[in-house]
Structure 1
Amino acid sequence: MFGVSDLKELKKLDKDDLLNLIGLETRKETTDYLLPALGAFTVGVLLGVGVGLMLAPKPGNELRNDLRNRFEGGKDTLTGAGTQRTETVTRGV
Structure 2
Amino acid sequence: MFGVNDLKDLKKMDKDDLLHLIGLETRKDTADYLLPALGAFTVGVLLGVGVGLMLAPKPGNELRNDLRNRFQTGQETLTGAGAQRSENVTRGV
Structures share fold, TM-score greater than 0.5: yes
**SS state of the match for residue 5, structure 2?**
helix
Identity between Structure 1 and Structure 2 (%): 86
Describe how 1:40-79 pairs up with structure 2 within 5 A: 40-59=40-59, 61=62, 64=66
Q: Which has the larger radius of gyration?
A: 1
Deviation at 1:2, TM superposition (A): 2.2
How many Å separate the matches in 1 of 2:3 and 2:51? 64
1:15 maps to 2:15: yes
State the one-letter code of the partner of 1:38. L
- TM-score normalized by the length of structure 1: 0.60
Q: Deviations over 1:53-90 (max 9, x none)?
A: 1012222537x4xxx9xxxxxxxxxxxxxxxxxxxxxx
Q: How many residues align?
A: 65
Q: Which runs of 4+ in 1 moved over 4 A?
A: none
**SS state of the match for residue 26, structure 2?**
coil
- TM-score normalized by the length of structure 2: 0.60
Deviation at 1:38, TM superposition (A): 0.3
Other-structure match for 2:34: 34
Query: Aligned-residue CA RMSD in angstroms?
Result: 2.1
State the one-letter code of the partner of 1:9. D
**SS state of the match for residue 27, structure 2?**
coil
How many Å separate the matches in 1 of 2:35 and 2:10? 34
Stretches of structure 1 lacking an aligned partner (at least 5 in a row) = 69-93
